[in-house]
Structure 1
Amino acid sequence: MQYKDDVGNLSEKNKKSNPFLSIDASNIKLFVTDIDGTLTNGNLYYTGLEIMKQFNVHDGYGGKLLLEKGVAVAVLSGRKDGSSVARVKDLGWDIVGLGVDDKLKILSSYLKEKKINFSQVVYLGDDLNDLECIQSSGLGCCVADSQALLKKESDFILSKRGGEGAFRELVDLFLNCL
């Protein structure tokens, strides 16, 4: 099935382009995303000892579309909590690391184990702890409400904010280039 979608308005920096047009999209083997502020809006809700988060179902379905195309999906987060673990397991995505301080080190080890090069990785983040992974990946992207330095250093800024379907927007752009 041919996949085409109208991804709507992109940020001004992107000039309504598709970042996958400037790389060999067929070379991409893995999408890695942060969780808090990327798959969620970054808000944490405490109910006693538990943390609750809101995830966007469109992002989850985007991951399913990638898996159907043979592209792996994984998460790498500075926070570890039950909500994140449950969501990732529900989606069938890999966990590169949760509760991680040095994301680049953990991602490098994961890629070596999986025999994937950084050039074959799309990385999506929102804050400074994602910066090195964004700079090292084949395509480093950030959500619309990312920190200013990430916006400056990213290859592409999505038009959607974290938790509002930004991951799905990125997936749609990718699938439109296959």
Structure 2
Amino acid sequence: MEDKSYKEYLEHITTFILDVDGVLTNGNVTILSNGDLLRTMNIKDGYALKTALNNGYHICIISGGSNEGVRLRLNGLGVQDVFLGVHDKMSCMEDYLKTNNLKSENVLYMGDDIPDIEVMQRVGLPCCPQDAVPEIKAISKYISHKKGGKGAVRDVIQQVMKVQGKWAVDYNAKYD
């Protein structure tokens, strides 16, 4: 479903709302003997989140999971609007939009599974990673070529920022 029509929405995006498991992570968890669940996040996704924040975009995380390590990682990147343990994602999103005076048509939401459907049907640009479930792919206006936790978030943020002229890279700079 990677037709060109999704690109017309990119220039109007001001806000990224993201799920965690299966989007910012690959959806796998490592279960420790004490019951703690470990997740892995992609550094390139983190860079994109930080860059978007530094360029004035709103970023909101809404997850059914409740791992405080996720909050610490995202807060460390500058993401302050992190809502964990959320069972009603729609109400959470509506409250966030109202509190910040934002419009749903300016939101890019990336989800990967059934709990994301209702929210995705209400935003301007519903997106998903390449490995999302079929029901999510069916309602997505853009399906990333990247899998969850493997750069899908970087993919959509970078596309939005490039279209809006905010993804600046100095190709002559030397990187160590």
1:139 aligned residue:
125
Among 46, 52, 56, the alignment partner of 2:31 is 46
| TM-score normalized with structure 2 length | 0.87
- 5+ residue gaps, structure 2, are 165-176
2:62 counterpart of 1:79: no
RMSD over equivalenced CA pairs, Å: 1.4
- Runs of at least 5 residues in structure 1 that lack an aligned partner in the other structure: 1-12
Aligned length: 163
Partner of 1:101: 87
Query: What SS does the aligned partner of 2:121 have?
Result: helix
Q: Which amino acid in the other structure matches residue 122 of structure 1?
A: L
Please list the CA deviations of residues 75-114 of structure 1 after superposition, one character each: whole Å capped at 9, or x if unmatched: 0001111221121111111335211111011110111011
Provide the C-alpha distance between the structure 2 equivalents of 1:96 and 1:112, rounded to a whole number of angstroms.
16
2:112 — aligned with what?
126
What amino acid maps onto 1:105 in structure 2? S
Q: Pick the aligned partner of 1:115 from 88, 94, 101.
A: 101
Distance 1:60 1:76 in 2: 16
CA shift for structure 1 position 24? 5.9
1:7 corresponds in structure 2 to none
Question: Deviating runs (4+, > 4 A) in structure 1?
Answer: none
Query: What SS is found at the alignment partner of 2:110?
Result: strand
1:1-178 to structure 2, matched below 5 A, reads 13-15=1-3, 17=4, 19=6, 21-23=7-9, 25=11, 27-47=12-32, 48-178=34-164
Structure 1 residue 49 displacement after superposition:
3.1
Cα drift, residue 73 of structure 1: 1.2
